Amino acid sequence: MSEPKIRIRGLKKNFAGKQVLDGVDIDVPARSSMVILGGSGSGKSVTIKCLLGLITPDAGTIEIDGRNILALPAREREAVNDRIGMLFQNGALFDSLPVWENVCFKLLAQNRITRAKARDKAAEVLAQVGLAASVGDLSPGELSGGMQKRVALARAIAATPDIILFDEPTTGLDPIMGAVIDGLIRDCVQKLGATAVSITHDMASARRIGDEAAMLFKGRIIWNGPAAELGHTGNAMVDQFANGEREGPIQMELRR
C-alpha cells in the first residue's frame, strides 16, 4: 500500500489532568476524504488543531508525506502549513474586509498575488463554489449563512492546498445547502486532488463527504472503516452513535 498523506500515531494531549487524546492513530490516504466522528468533547477539534499546529500534543507523531511535522523547525513547519487549508466551524471571515480580500487573504498576506490580480483570482475561486463575481464586493455581514460557508470554502481552497480541514462544514445550514456544501467538498478532493479531513455531527453529510470514517471515543480511535457503512458497521458503539440511539453501549453522562 502506498504511504498515507497523513499518518497520526500515538497522539496524546492532556488538559488540566483530563486525558483528551490518549493515543490517537489515524491514516488518511492521499486524495481521499476522512471524516472524524465522536461525541461532544471527544477531542475532534483538538486533533485537527494539532494537525494545524495550533495545539502542541504531549506525545505522538503526525507525518505528512512521511515527515513528522511535529519535529520540524518553525520555518519548515510554516511551509507545511501553507499547504493546508482550513474551513473553520463559524467560517471565521473578516467582517472588515470585502469578500474578495477574504478569499485571497492568504495569497495577499504572503505576497503571492498583487491586489490588482486578487479580485480576478477571487472571482475565479468564487465561481468554483457557485458564487457570482459580484459577491466579491460585498462584506461577509451581507451574506446568508450558506453563502458565508461557500466564501469560507473559497478562502480555504484559494491557495490550492494539498490538505483541507473542515470543522463542521454543514452545521447551521438547511439540508439542501448542506448537501451543496458536501458536493463542493467532494469536488475539492476529486478535482483539486486534495486530501480532506472533516469533523461532522451530521451523519448524512459524513456518508456523502467521506471515503472513510474514524470514530473517537475516550481519547482513542475505536473504529475506522468505509463512511458508507456508518449506521451498519457491526460495531455497536459506532452504530449507536451514527443512528443517534439513546440506548446502547455509550452511556450519556447526564447530571440529574
Binding site for ligand ATP (CB under 6 A): 15, 20, 38, 40-46
Helices 145-157 and 175-190 pack at an angle, to 10 degrees, of 10
Comparison of 23 and 98: residue with beta carbon closer to ligand ATP: 23
Which letter does DSSP use for residue 78 in this model?
H
Comparison of 136 and 219: residue with beta carbon closer to ligand ATP: 219
Comparison of 41 and 130: residue with beta carbon closer to ligand ATP: 41
Least Cβ distance, residue 72 to ligand ATP (angstroms): 22
Cα dihedral 198, 201, 204, 209 in deg (nearest 10): 0
Amino acid found at 81? N
| Nearest Cα residue to 79 out of 192, 157, 195, 161 | 161
The most distant pair of C-alpha atoms in the chain lies apart, rounded to whole Å, by: 60
Extended strands (E) in the chain: 6-15, 18-28, 33-37, 59-64, 67-68, 84-87, 163-167, 195-199, 212-217, 220-226
How far apart are alpha carbons 164 and 145 in whole angstroms? 20
Distances in whole angstroms, Cα of residue 7 to Cα of each of 37, 173, 247: 17, 31, 34
- Phi, psi dihedral angles at 27 (to 5 degrees): -115, 130
Comparison of 158 and 213: residue with beta carbon closer to ligand ATP: 213
How far apart are alpha carbons 42 and 216 in whole angstroms? 6
Comparison of 42 and 205: residue with beta carbon closer to ligand ATP: 42
User: Which residues fall within 8 angstroms of residue 79, CB to CB, at 6 or more apart?
Assistant: none
Least Cβ distance, residue 54 to ligand ATP (angstroms): 9
Least Cβ distance, residue 20 to ligand ATP (angstroms): 4
Bridge-partner residues for 21, per DSSP? Answer: 13
| Nearest Cα residue to 206 out of 26, 8, 38, 20 | 38
Comparison of 40 and 251: residue with beta carbon closer to ligand ATP: 40
Least Cβ distance, residue 40 to ligand ATP (angstroms): 3
Least Cβ distance, residue 171 to ligand ATP (angstroms): 9
Least Cβ distance, residue 43 to ligand ATP (angstroms): 4
Least Cβ distance, residue 225 to ligand ATP (angstroms): 20
Comparison of 54 and 127: residue with beta carbon closer to ligand ATP: 54
